[in-house]
Chain A
Amino acid sequence: MPESAATPGLEEVPLEQLAACPECDLLMLKPALNLGEVAECPRCGCELFRLRHRIVGPGMALVLAALLLYFPANFLPIMQLNLLGRVTQDTVWSGVLSLYNSGMQGIAVVVFLCSMAVPLLKLLCQLAVLSCIAFDRAKPLGVALYRTYHHLREWGMLEVYLLGILVSIIKLRDMAELSLGIGLACFAGLLVVQVWLELVMSPHQVWEALSERRDARR
């Protein structure tokens, strides 16, 4: 594939057979991929395409699993702190509320968006996009939602929040008696499912499936 990059006269090749790297704008012939193969840009090494066996089935299963985990992860206690017989709990949601009530509305909004709203919206977009492909309906809506998903991607920060939980556990360890809650397990599960989902949904294939006509679905 890299050799084809230097082929002269690429202007004459039909558009469907060409691809360009979104990061360095190199024009090349679209590589033919086998299942499981990945194509990288020969100039800058950006990942261009990845061909997966199936998207819809595993994708659906993972999105539903993530949505089931979402609510316990955000609303069940992550940890309890016991200081001289008084017990307090922390959930993702109570963190947002406490910031809001202590006059830090701005940060409360940032935390709410990055740890709760965006991850949920991402999952809902993925669910809708997969449904559009599976049922071959409302493709334009699917396109709009998949675009939304790509704009949201950067702003979901579940993994950073998990590291925040770990740092907090260590900071609190000396202060009082600490016990971990079921919310933490759900949160970690949600994170794993979400990363897996990201691996399953190959963007290039989703875009193709969204732009394909009826009966060409996979």
Chain B
Amino acid sequence: MRAADAGLMVCHECHQLNRADAGQRHQRCTRCGARVHMRRPNSIVRTWALLITAALLYLPANLLPIMTVRMLGSGTPDTIMSGVVTLAKHGMFPIAAVVFIASILVPTFKLVGIAMLLFSVQRHHPMSPRQRILVFRFIEWIGRWSMLDIFVIAILVAIVNFGSLASVEAGFGAIAFASVVVLTMLAAITFDPRLIWDNTESGNKHD
């Protein structure tokens, strides 16, 4: 039985149970004072909005250079992918793999994964709720690791600072990439995982 069927709402923040009061439009948790809802309001629409914005920025994030390494005046702009290729060419395969996973696979997987969760909640899909919740938890857990490249840029810009001899500059692709990471993290927070179970048990559509 769902808490919602018993007229109970779980607080998003402190997990306290609250009895739904039909008279009140904006109910607050009796323990921590946070807003409580049966389900997050407009969860699906908001998640879609964040996801589509992230998908649009995904292109400049991957096509524009994220940094330029200058040696003796001549610079080579690096995109995310060319950075990975350079690492691999120098024989640093484990690190190349880490950067490839964090900067290319994870953001792509998140965009596709969240879209898949949204689709599966809106129309009944063959994926079992158990599989979907695993996808959701994985997306929630892994999201922050994409920030890796941004931190690497911050470190390189600070330390490779030898004037005309050698320097590293951040490129505009980095801004787009950081935005993609932040937006997909927000999308994962906005998505209400309880919707995954709703449409499998009751057969109701929640969109």
Q: Which residue of B lies closest to A140 (CB)?
A: B33
- B193 sits at the interface (CB 8 A): yes
| Residue numbers in B under 8 Å from A213 (CB-CB) | none
B10: contacting residue among A22, A43, A79, CB under 8 A: A22
| Residue numbers in B under 8 Å from A43 (CB-CB) | 197
Q: In the complex, A95→B154 CA distance in Å?
A: 5
| Residue numbers in A under 8 Å from B10 (CB-CB) | 20-22, 25
Q: In the complex, A96→B153 CA distance in Å?
A: 10
A24: contacting residue among B147, B166, B193, CB under 8 A: B193
- A152 sits at the interface (CB 8 A): no
A15-B17, A24-B133, A27-B3 are contacts. A154–B8 as well, Cβ < 8 Å?
A: no
| Residue numbers in B under 8 Å from A78 (CB-CB) | 155
Chain A min CB distance to B132 (Å): 10
Write out, one digit per residue, whether chain B residues 1-17 have a CB within 8 A of any chain A CB (1) or not (0).
11111111010111111
- B105 sits at the interface (CB 8 A): no
- Asked if A86 and B162 make an inter-chain contact with CB atoms under 8 angstroms apart, the answer reads yes
Q: In the complex, A45→B99 CA distance in Å?
A: 31
Q: In the complex, A136→B149 CA distance in Å?
A: 44
- Asked if A107 and B17 make an inter-chain contact with CB atoms under 8 angstroms apart, the answer reads no
- Asked if B197 and A207 make an inter-chain contact with CB atoms under 8 angstroms apart, the answer reads no
B152: contacting residue among A27, A86, A155, A167, CB under 8 A: A167
Write out, one digit per residue, whether chain A residues 160-177 have a CB within 8 A of any chain B CB (1) or not (0).
110111111011101110
Interface of chain A, helix or strand or loop or mixed? helix
- Asked if B130 and A98 make an inter-chain contact with CB atoms under 8 angstroms apart, the answer reads no
| Residue numbers in A under 8 Å from B151 (CB-CB) | 95, 111, 115, 157, 160-161, 163-165
| Residue numbers in B under 8 Å from A19 (CB-CB) | 15, 17
| Residue numbers in A under 8 Å from B13 (CB-CB) | 147, 150
Q: In the complex, A104→B198 CA distance in Å?
A: 44
| Residue numbers in A under 8 Å from B135 (CB-CB) | none
Write out, one digit per residue, whether chain A residues 88-104 have a CB within 8 A of any chain B CB (1) or not (0).
11110011111100101
- Asked if B144 and A160 make an inter-chain contact with CB atoms under 8 angstroms apart, the answer reads yes
- B157 sits at the interface (CB 8 A): yes
Chain B min CB distance to A15 (Å): 6
- A10 sits at the interface (CB 8 A): yes
Task: Show the binding face of A for B, using Cβ within 8 Å.
Answer: 8, 10-11, 15, 18-27, 43-45, 48, 78-79, 81, 83-84, 86, 88-91, 94-99, 102, 104, 106-108, 110-111, 114-115, 143-144, 146-147, 150, 154-155, 157, 160-161, 163-168, 170-172, 174-176, 203-204, 207, 211
Task: Show the binding face of B for A, using Cβ within 8 Å.
Answer: 1-8, 10, 12-17, 19, 31-34, 87, 90, 92, 95, 98-99, 102, 129-130, 133, 143-145, 147-162, 165-166, 169-170, 174-175, 178, 182, 185, 189, 193-194, 196-198
